Structure 1
Amino acid sequence: MNKINKDRWVKYILIFFAFVIVIGSLGYMNSIMKQIAISEQKNIELWAKTIQKRANLLKETQDFLTMLEIEERQKMNIWAEATKRIIKAASGDDLSFYADIISSNNSIPILMVNENNRILASKNVNPPYDTLKYLSKENASKFFIYPPIEIDLGKTKHYLYYADSRLIEKFHYIINDIVEKFLDDIVENNINIPVIVTDTTRTKIYACGNIDTCALTDNAYMKKLINSMESENKPITIQLPNGEKQLIFYKTSQVISKMRWFILLQLAIILVFVLIVIFFSRALYLSERDSIWVGMAKETAHQMGTPLSSLFAWVEILEAEYGPSETISEMRKDLNRLQRVSDRFNIIGSQPNFTEVSIIELLMEIHQYFLHRIPQKKIDLKLYIEPQEDVVLPVNAELLSWAIENIVKNAIDSIDIEKEKQVVEIKLSVNEKYAFIDISDTGKGISSKIQKYIFKPGFSTKEHGWGLGLALAKRIVEEYHKGKILVSSSTNNGTKITIQLNKTL
């Protein structure tokens, strides 16, 4: 038991140090990654603030342009009113003020037409509109973006058409250029930030950067990507010169994403390496253990062979000299028993043969063997056979009986003979697929802490135990017969060990 505990602690210490090394390496790498990630995140935040400031500046510029357009509209209303006053003025009225208003317009293109769309006056108009006699609706919609101002003269009406001044046209050109450059800077950022620019409905994509272009045609993927970006960062809103609003979605840079994947990849590689090492170490351990098992079994069978032959010869001599007797008969039975043990050690070191064996007969033989070797006043050894018909299974009789005997012997050894009569029970039951051999006792039981160790070679709760009996039983049942061996026990409530065997191999 101490050897098992010592080996277990050595294994735990090695695992602990391996765990410390892995965690230390990952921690150090993660620390470096975090520093780089923090630097990248600061760049992203700076980029987002810069974009937001430029978006605000663009909005302020647009607001200023809108203010100029409103101011020009007001000027045109004043110009129309001045024209109306001049037309309606009586002879002798001072019209110099109105004339100054009309003549002060040196930049806003205007056309004044009557109700029949005949051009009555024009100013600051570029060809071909400066030579037209009539203004059709088609020409009006092409040149003039604003609705005409109505000049009510009473019996008739004139209409004043006007377009943006050259100053505002210049502003429009500059703002459009700023917007185009602004969008280019967003999508072609130098810190590898994935960016998508959409309309407010998020269905129309105007521009994108650092994104797989093949994914642009996959609407479902793009929608999922936009939602992912929004969950990570609040989108930036910009307003274009035409009044349209657009949303800028962005997420963590590709460098940080790759770093995160690198850490996970590194962890996966380390885990795979550890698993490979564990697998090969266990395979090597099992191979060495099997070699030791085989070597010990073969050597034990060999060492027992010569003395057994001599003992059989001595029994023959005694029987010839003194005649048959009960003592000599019992000696012969025990020698046959030793011969079976030797044969078992020889079999366990090689591939056993399987034959159809009556399990009922095998259990009855084991029961009879132990009945003559236990204190019957202290221990009641019982055998229960549930099946009405014989149970014949393909097994190796020598090995299976050895496994059952080891379990029965452990059950007998667990009995406290100082107490009143205790019970050890062997029970056979079957179902459609399996045969079950239950060996139970009313002994001191096995604590839950050590139940998982009782089948390990070298583990024993006995002071001078070798820890081989149950280990051999498990090997015989599970490795050779492809069955199962199960234990259920609790302290002071006895133990039940079940051998489950397949009806067919």
Structure 2
Amino acid sequence: MNPYERKRRWKYLLLFFAIVIAVSSLWYTDFLVQNIAKSERTRAELWAQSLKRMFETDNDEMMNFLFTIRDSLPVPAIVTSEKDSIITYQGLDTAKTYFEIESNKKYDPKYFLKELREMKNQHNPIPVEFYGKKNLIYYKDSDLLNQLKVFPYIQLSLIAVFLMLAYFAFNSARKSEQNQVWVGLAKETAHQLGTPISSLMAWVELLKERFKADDSLILEMENDVRRLEVVADRFSKIGSKPILSSHSVYDVVKDFVDYFRVRVSDKITFEVNGDEQLEALINVPLFDWVIENILKNAVNAIDGKGIISINIQENIVKEQIIIDITDTGKGIPRSKFDTVFQPGFTTRKRGWGLGLSLTKRMIENYHGGQVFVKESELGKGTTFRIILKSSINYVPTI
């Protein structure tokens, strides 16, 4: 299992536990709400019975006792007749139950109707008889119960926001640290390659003097040494903003393909098509690296004979140059279209899984373009698409 797959499984596992915790919290809160709701229903029924007894008793001592019971049960309630005429109420907002007209306090009908409508929506009424007439007692949930209903959602939301902020903070710090290590390693690699490459260049010149200067083996050796020099230059540019200039995309791609094709199996055919006049803003050493990474993946995907074709075209409306690199290899599952660009993802036993990750970084961060899997079919091949900024309106700075 590659590191990316292992990392993804850990994410799913953590997500599963987070869902379990959230569901458990909501279930337990709902359990508490149900119990408190039952308790409030019992309290409302007891209040209704005490109210009924108050209308039936003439005993002053019993009346005082019933008043004590009624006042000890803080239930927001409204007592109505069967026709919804309000008889009395308890526990409502005293600041809203009345309004003043010419210094006389009157019931505010709008407030009572709103409260009554809310009570009807929450609970079934408690029937009770006063003087032989059937009346209805409506009540609503207490403020404590209403707060308890929303508390877990507020709590989980705050925890989620905190975890997201912590994740982004730690992730940003980790990426910054990785970038510093990557830049330091790249520049040190370029520095270490400098001395042996200079020596190799000198040895090639010496061979050209002693033997035939146009010998094909010596010329290919010289090309490889110059290639090493380009590689060292690539690493030295990591971490600094590369200089982009206008180049013919066809010429840059064609030059690299000519170099690359003699270093892979002759069973693989390369085709480069497109308008040779199309120019884009690129840094040639870094862009060569991009093409090299995609072509190497294409070669590894082809089992035996195959074709790798590169088509270059222009999107005039968006002022973009589009490069499609198509191979006849084994293809990529649709679920892996984004995964292939993740660091550490590889299908090779000895691969590091960094090639396409670097490709994405160089195209998006350094060239301001895009790279993605345009299409792929298992057993038939894959097309990678690179989008670059056209230099049609480019004005070089002096």
TM beyond 0.5: yes
1:426 deviates by 0.7
- Tell me how large the CA RMSD over aligned residues is: 3.8
Structure 2 distance, partners of 1:221, 1:502, is 65
Structure 2 distance, partners of 1:357, 1:36, is 70
Which one of 68, 72, 76 corresponds to residue 194 of structure 1? 76
Structure 2 distance, partners of 1:241, 1:8, is 72
The aligned residue for residue 230 of structure 2 is 340
1:38-437 pair list within 5 angstroms: 38-53=34-49, 190-197=72-79, 207=89, 209-211=91-93, 213=95, 225-236=115-126, 248-325=137-214, 326-376=216-266, 378-385=267-274, 387=275, 390-417=277-304, 421-431=305-315, 432-433=317-318, 434-437=320-323
Which one of 458, 465, 468 corresponds to residue 344 of structure 2? 458
Deviations 1:74-103 (A, max 9, x none): xxxxxxxxxxxxxxxxxxxxxxxxxxxxxx
The aligned residue for residue 470 of structure 1 is 356
The aligned residue for residue 26 of structure 1 is 25
Q: In structure 2, the residue corresponding to 1:351 is in which secondary structure?
A: coil
| Change over 3 Å in CA distance of 1:54–1:12 after alignment to 2 | closer
Deviations 1:348-372 (A, max 9, x none): 2322222223222222223322333
Whether 1:482 aligns to 2:364 is no
1:199 deviates by 7.0
The aligned residue for residue 2 of structure 1 is 2
The share of aligned pairs that are identical, in percent, is 35
Structure 2 distance, partners of 1:453, 1:215, is 63
**Does structure 2 retain, via aligned residues, the 8 Å contact 1:236–1:249?**
yes
1:233 deviates by 0.7
Structure 2 distance, partners of 1:216, 1:396, is 78
Which is higher, the Rg of structure 1 or of structure 2?
1
The aligned residue for residue 491 of structure 1 is 378
Q: In structure 1, the residue corresponding to 2:240 is in which secondary structure?
A: coil
| Change over 3 Å in CA distance of 1:439–1:36 after alignment to 2 | closer
1:408 deviates by 1.4
Q: In structure 1, the residue corresponding to 2:289 is in which secondary structure?
A: helix
1:18 deviates by 6.0
Deviations 1:260-283 (A, max 9, x none): 222222212221222122212321
TM-score, with structure 1 as normaliser: 0.64
Amino acid at match of 1:338: L
Q: In structure 2, the residue corresponding to 1:249 is in which secondary structure?
A: strand
Structure 1 distance, partners of 2:141, 2:288, is 69
Deviations 1:407-454 (A, max 9, x none): 01211221111xxx4211111222211332111111111234544432
1:35 deviates by 6.3
| Change over 3 Å in CA distance of 1:453–1:302 after alignment to 2 | same
Q: In structure 1, the residue corresponding to 2:124 is in which secondary structure?
A: coil
1:306 deviates by 0.8
Q: In structure 1, the residue corresponding to 2:121 is in which secondary structure?
A: helix
**Does structure 2 retain, via aligned residues, the 8 Å contact 1:482–1:502?**
yes
| Change over 3 Å in CA distance of 1:352–1:329 after alignment to 2 | same
Amino acid at match of 1:482: G
Q: In structure 2, the residue corresponding to 1:382 is in which secondary structure?
A: strand
1:475 deviates by 0.9
The aligned residue for residue 331 of structure 2 is 445
Q: In structure 1, the residue corresponding to 2:341 is in which secondary structure?
A: coil
Structure 2 distance, partners of 1:252, 1:375, is 79
1:58 deviates by 7.8
Which gives a bigger RCO, structure 1 or 2 (Cα 8 Å, sep 6+)? 2
Q: Which moved more, 1:391-400 or 1:50-59?
A: 50-59
Structure 2 distance, partners of 1:221, 1:479, is 61
Q: Which runs of 5+ in 1 are unaligned?
A: 62-170
| Change over 3 Å in CA distance of 1:221–1:327 after alignment to 2 | farther
Structure 2 distance, partners of 1:58, 1:464, is 89
Structure 1 distance, partners of 2:95, 2:130, is 25
Amino acid at match of 1:47: R
1:13 deviates by 5.0
1:314 deviates by 0.9
Amino acid at match of 2:42: L
Q: In structure 2, the residue corresponding to 1:311 is in which secondary structure?
A: helix
Q: In structure 2, the residue corresponding to 1:454 is in which secondary structure?
A: helix
Deviations 1:309-337 (A, max 9, x none): 00111112122222412332222222111
**Does structure 2 retain, via aligned residues, the 8 Å contact 1:194–1:254?**
no
Structure 2 distance, partners of 1:196, 1:276, is 47
Deviations 1:436-489 (A, max 9, x none): 211111111123454443212222212222212111101111222232222132
Amino acid at match of 2:76: P
| Change over 3 Å in CA distance of 1:328–1:191 after alignment to 2 | farther
Amino acid at match of 1:44: E
**Does structure 2 retain, via aligned residues, the 8 Å contact 1:379–1:423?**
yes
Amino acid at match of 1:41: A
Structure 1 distance, partners of 2:97, 2:300, is 73
Q: In structure 2, the residue corresponding to 1:457 is in which secondary structure?
A: coil
Structure 1 distance, partners of 2:13, 2:127, is 58
